[in-house]
Amino acid sequence: MRFDILALAALAALAGASTLTPPVLPLIVRNPYLSTWLGNARDAPWENWPMFWTGAHVGFSVMASVPGAGKVYPLLGRPHDSLSRSHDSYNVSYPDYLGATFDASTTNLTYAISNPSSGADPLSLTLSFLSPVTPSSTLRQSIPAAYLTVLVEGSFDIDIYIDVNGEWVSGNRGNKITWELSERDPAEKAREDTEAPIKTWKVKRINEQLLTEISDRSEWGTLHFSAPSDVYHQSGTSALVRKHFSSTGSLRNEIDSDFRPIMDEEPVFAYSKSFKLAQGTAGKSKSTDSVVFTFALVQDPVVQFASARGLTMMRPLWASYFSSADELVSYHYSDFEAASALARNYSDTLGADAFESGSNDYRDIAALSARQVLGATQFSGTPDNPILFLKEISSNGNFQTVDVIFPAFPFFLYTNPKWLAYLLEPLLEHQLSGQYPNDYSMHDIGSHFPNATGHPDGRDEYMPVEECGNMLIMGLALVNAFRYDTEPAFTAATADHHTQEIPASAQWPGLVDRFGIDLPREATAMTGPKAAERWAARSYKLWKQWTGYLVRESLIPHNQLCTDDFAGWLANQTNLALKGIIGIKAMSEIADLVGEADDAAHYKKVSDAYIEKWQEYGISRDKTHAKLAYTWYGSWTTIYNLYADSLLCFHIPEDSRGSASKASGWSGQKPIGGGSKPSTFIPDEVYKMQSDWYHAVLQHYGLPLDSRHLYTKSDWEFFAAAVTSRKTRTEILNSIAVWVNETVTDRPFTDLYDTEGKGGFPGPRFMARPVVGGHFAFLALERACGGKAVDALKFLDEQPRAEIDVNKALLSDMSWGYGREADEEPSMDDL
């Protein structure tokens, strides 16, 4: 099957406007184990091997040669390490590297190769890596596979070589692997009109270790590396295979059957493709051609999960649609044009929304974050009960960590709120089944992915206020998405003529159409007040249990961790208390939704009382900033949890909130502090105060987390900036963009970095974490409450910014703070 050249050219042009130059770019990123990145992305791609998200290199190389010219060009990885610099049959040369561009699904690496025989225009070659983000097709998003298109345009012939090694299937280079080449006879294929004849290298460990990792790489599963049937193939020792291609421009169609360890005479699995461009096209001096390769890491099961029915081996979601791995791989290969179109639909919409919300820099940051979020996930369950599992990448590998899902959840609210429901499902199911003994929300459902065995002893990481607040805030945000939010255009997209049907035996009427596109939410009863009520009511026992804990513990949090656990334990944390109080407020709306009027009234009364006390305890005496902790005078903190107040529509005055509260039957809240101004939960003055303070403490590379250190968290920067004035928000965004361009961090987008110096790691080396979903905070807020959430913050742009002397303000607060009876430890007796 020859893919449409115009479609491929459009794909190659997809990412043509990137403005930022991050140190690392995603190449093939689908889940925690299929995760290949371009390190040192500001340099030529042949200077280093591609890497796994940990930084360990991955055997993956691409070369080109020009027939008759005796030159071989490394394009990706270091295959030239296997070659002599000068040889009778070839010389190693280097192309002109024109740079990288990217969008939400695609990374393009573009090269120019000079014409060896004349001064004619050079040949243009693009390696286009597509890991499609397809919110309109959960089926496609669940497929653990990605594409590489090699697109060439020129007037002379060129040969392409590509290989992989066994590092894709094990973290131990001494492990023994096995392989085979599977070829489909075009005459025997089942659906001639839609399926392309392909050949596939299948590589796996000889002795797989189910649900086991070594150095964060999976020790089970099979790599399927596919190409069209007309390319040449060869397996064998890396140096020998690469030298043969370099000498001849082709491969031998031979298979080395000596199964051995990954680096024992390193076996590689290669393809070569010849592009005949010299003859040209009538009327044109240049010809264009392309070839598509696919990479799939097939695992079944994907995790084990302590579900309501006990410890369960969980199959991948795609297994409900396809009867075998071969069927999956064949479908995925032939689906290239449809997957590309759907991914482009999302990328274009995201790009436009992010540009309008912020700038070209924000567009690039959001695009760079999308694949990273989904690269931490595995889709499982069945089409009528999907589950989305998540690994806490790099920081410790916990499974379904609540305070990792929380910073990531703006991505899911913007991209597809149903996916957020799939993320919360295993946490709710596990705790509803009684397998967790504590009365607060658990931190995670397993100490290390892929084993969600729970914590029956209740000794998970201790963040009780943090996780209760997170679950309640996300619960109401999801309910509001079901009730009121407008479905984004890209989730309603279809692939039309681009799309092939999924196998008839695997179709799920009422959930997806015959092309694998999700049916609209209204068609699946996943929208409207009734759907929201059903979802909330099913777990009402947990919502109420966690709220009871917050009523007891959130106003004055005892010594404990918050999500920023690297900063250590601390009592009376101002920002943590705010999260708990907003959680209680959220519960008042959840209770009202499901008809629990007494609970709704009670939790509303409690949250109203607590938020007044919180202002008294947590804000500096001169009213210029929030303190890090109630009794830590002379300190300050970024109160990124203020974002939830706006996201949940609490900052919209009661008399203008429309359906978001009137549908709940509330008549209005009394204004805090009296007066006739329409009531909001947290006063305007708190927003204005923090917006001005953030401007005053902003550093070269961003907004520090608090007064203890100069490091920051990028997810929380976006949460905080989303609820500031437009001017402050732009300043914070611009400083992060400068950091992306200049940071010396050498791993996939870290969320924890120094705001001064070289913008490096501050100690902990966080990398590739899904929390970068928090970078979508602007976009999620703009969709919240029918657009009213952002409108309610316009006052921030209508008032002049206060000029603050930070040192003077902190010293003033310290002078208030010592030796005064009024500043004794806060107490619940104050209520």
3-state secondary structure of 691: helix
CATH number of 383-493+508-559+571-830: 1.50.10
Is the predicted pLDDT of residue 6 greater than 90, yes or no? no
Lowest mean pLDDT among 61-70, 79-88, 733-742: 79-88
Amino acid 511: pLDDT: 86
Phi and psi dihedrals of 660, rounded to 5?
-65, -25
pLDDT at 85: 74
* Cross-strand pairs, 70: none
Residue 617 carries which side chain, given as an amino acid letter?
A: Y
For 662, the 3-state DSSP assignment is helix
**Average pLDDT of the chain to the nearest whole number:** 91
Residue 72 has pLDDT above 90, yes or no: yes
- Residue with the two structure tokens 């608090």: 706
pLDDT at 455 over 70: yes
Q: Nearest 5°: CA angle at 546, between 542 and 550?
A: 165
pLDDT digits (tens, 9 = 90+) for 156-178: 999 999 999 999 999 999 999 99
Q: What does the pLDDT read at residue 280?
A: 64
Does the structure show a pLDDT above 90 at 483? no
For the chain, domain boundaries: 5-346, 383-493+508-559+571-830
**What pLDDT sits at residue 786?**
86
In tens, the pLDDT along 10-64 reads 454 544 568 999 999 999 999 999 999 999 999 999 999 999 999 999 999 999 9
Q: Please name the residue that has the structure tokens 């109160």.
A: 639
With CA atoms as reference, report the closest residue to 639 among 618, 613, 616, 610.
618
> In this structure, how many other beta carbons lie within 10 angstroms of the beta carbon of residue 587?
31
pLDDT beyond 50 at 745: yes
Neighbours of 418 (CB within 10 A): 22
DSSP state of 637: B
DSSP 147: E
CA atoms within 13 A on the CB side of 650: 29
pLDDT at 633 over 90: yes
**Predicted local confidence at residue 710, as pLDDT:** 97
* Span 734-752, average pLDDT: 98
Q: pTM of the prediction?
A: 0.94
Phi–psi pair at 347, nearest 5 degrees: -60, -40
pLDDT tier at 179, thresholds 50, 70, 90: very high
Note the CATH architecture for domain 5-346.
Distorted Sandwich (2.70)
Could you tell me how many helices (H) and strands (E) the chain has, helices first? 22, 26
CB atoms within 10 A of CB 117: 10
- Going 791 to 793 to 795 to 801, the CA torsion angle's sign is negative
Of the candidates 685, 473, 752, the residue with the CA atom closest to the CA atom of residue 586: 473
| Chain segment 572-621, per-residue pLDDT in tens | 999 999 999 999 999 999 999 999 999 999 999 999 999 999 999 999 99
Which residues are CB-neighbours of 751 under 8 A, at least 6 positions away? 407, 713, 714, 715, 766, 769, 771, 772, 774
In this structure, are residues 366 and 354 in contact, taking their beta carbons and an 8 Å threshold? yes
Q: Which amino acid is at 656?
A: S
